[in-house]
Amino acid sequence: MRTSRASHFLYLVMGALSVAIVAAVLVAVGTFDRDDDGTSTSSATAAPRTTPASSQGAVPTDVSGIYKKVSSGVVYIASRTAQGQASGSGFVLDSKGTIVTNDHVVEGARNVSVRFTENGDPIPAKVVGADPSTDVAVLDVDESKVEGGVKPLELGDSKAIEPGQPAIAIGSPFGLQGTVTSGIVSALNREIQAPNGFSISGVIQTDAAINPGNSGGPLLDESGRVIGINSQIATNGGGDSNSGVGFAVPIDTVKSVVPQLKANGKIERAWLGVSTADSATTDGAVVRDVTGGPAQDGGIRPGDVILSFDGRTITSASDLGEAVLTRKPGDTVKVVVDRNGSKQTLSVKLGTRPNQPTNTLG
């Protein structure tokens, strides 16, 4: 499994625009951007408003039908931070008022509000929990304050999607709530950088137009089921608008993260403590560096090629990252490495992932 990473001229930027005064600088260095809610537009350019529709009924057969089915479950999110106003998108997960968005949309927020319709009143929202490692956050609103009630979206299966199938994005690009765009799933198993500097693996690439403000909104399949959370776009440095290369955190990742966030508010993740790269000649993850911790104590050395982790065959660096995240801190696992042509089985006790990388990806 191969993954794509940004070069010096291709930057990944978050889909929420930063405060205008620093936006150009942040895009240039590929940092995480947030949205200033001060975008000025005329009423002629606003997205069409629709009457909220029930998620029940026949399966829609076109983008218009999907929009009518799910748009009332997609929300505009505004937050106030020490740096100013920020905004993004989100979607309703259940009938209790649970909303899912990106961590970077609400990171550092002092207060958060959610708007269900373009002209609706903002409803206060509580940040229940956030996971910077997957860029997922969970909010809670009082469903009794939502006119007509909340309408959860149906979740799909990101393992079942294939390149070339339809993909629909709904969100609030540049503050234009209720905007829908469509395209296809361009590729699978991409890798992007999380807000805390670690890697997010298994990411969906799409050419459906995603722009600043789409962050946290749903990427949908042809039946209107959520297959991912729109999170980042790629740009060549000339701006932060859509270039036909967008990335969504897969919904299967969200399914595993949300229950933990609702229960504990955060997630402690396993940590191996290696920096790895794909091998040019064989499957496996090549250890570039060991910076201490679990890997060093377990006997892993730079130059080792990790072939197996806890019984799972490792074909790439991204594959290793995914495998580590299936375990818990304190677990002891068997790691099979190829060291100078000789296979060795090592026993490694996993640690707890630090808040930020220490030059490690594992």
**What Cα–Cα distance (Å) separates residue 236 from each residue in 45, 174, 208, 249, 317?**
26, 19, 18, 21, 25
The alpha carbon dihedral of 82, 85, 90, 94 has a sign of positive
Residue 145, by phi and psi: left (phi above 0), alpha (psi -120 to 50) or beta? Answer: alpha
Of the residues 257, 286, 317, the one at which a domain ends: 257
pTM higher than 0.85: no
Provide the b/e sequence for 167-203 (b: ≥16 CB within 10 Å): bbbbbbbbbbbbbbbbbebbbbbbbbbbbbbbbbbbb
- Residues 306, 220 share a domain: no
Residue 235 has pLDDT above 90, yes or no: no
- Residues 147, 26 share a domain: yes
Q: Which of 133, 215, 275, 318 is catalytic?
A: 215
Comparing 280 with 4, which gets the higher pLDDT? Answer: 280
In a domain, 117, yes or no: yes
**Are the CB atoms for 353 and 268 separated by under 8 Å?**
yes
CATH number at residue 277: 2.30.42.10
Of the residues 257, 284, 310, the one at which a domain ends: 257
Q: Is 104 a catalytic residue?
A: yes
Q: Which of 100, 217, 202 is nearest to 161 (CA)?
A: 202
Give tens-digit pLDDT for 167-219: 999 999 999 999 999 999 999 989 898 988 888 888 999 999 999 999 999 99
Residue 337 has pLDDT above 80, yes or no: yes
Residue 359 has pLDDT above 60, yes or no: no
User: 41: pLDDT confidence band, cut at 50, 70 and 90?
Assistant: very low
- Residues 205, 79 share a domain: yes
- State the total domains in the chain: 2
In terms of DSSP bridges, do strands 98-101 and 136-140 run parallel, antiparallel, or are they unpaired?
antiparallel
User: Helix (H, G, I), strand (E, B), or coil: what is residue 328?
Assistant: coil
Output the pLDDT for position 319.
86
In a domain, 4, yes or no: no
Q: Which of 18, 104, 133, 207 is catalytic?
A: 104
Q: Which of 35, 135, 221, 338 is catalytic?
A: 135
Residue 193 has, within 13 A of its CA and on its CB side, a CA count of 18
Q: Which residues contact 160 (CB under 8 A, 6 or more apart)?
A: none
Mean pLDDT of the region 96-104 = 96
- Residues 239, 138 share a domain: yes
In terms of DSSP bridges, do strands 226-235 and 218-220 run parallel, antiparallel, or are they unpaired?
antiparallel
- Residues 219, 120 share a domain: yes
Domain assignment of residue 129, given as a range: 9-39+59-257
Residue 276 has pLDDT above 50, yes or no: yes
In a domain, 263, yes or no: no
- Residues 163, 32 share a domain: yes
Q: Is 318 a catalytic residue?
A: no
In a domain, 106, yes or no: yes
Output the pLDDT for position 81.
83
Of the residues 235, 257, 279, the one at which a domain ends: 257
Task: Return mean pLDDT, the chain.
Answer: 82
CATH number at residue 122: 2.40.10.120
In a domain, 299, yes or no: yes
- Residues 313, 181 share a domain: no
**Are the CB atoms for 63 and 71 separated by under 8 Å?**
no
- Residues 238, 163 share a domain: yes
In a domain, 115, yes or no: yes
- Residues 172, 298 share a domain: no
Q: Which of 157, 165, 134 is nearest to 267 (CA)?
A: 134
In a domain, 3, yes or no: no
- Residues 348, 200 share a domain: no
Mean pLDDT of the region 44-70 = 57
In a domain, 362, yes or no: no
CA angle (219 as vertex; 218, 221 as ends), nearest 5: 125
Eight-state DSSP code of residue 223: T
47: how many CB neighbours lie within 10 A of its CB? 17
- Residues 186, 280 share a domain: no
Output the pLDDT for position 199.
84
- Residues 239, 168 share a domain: yes
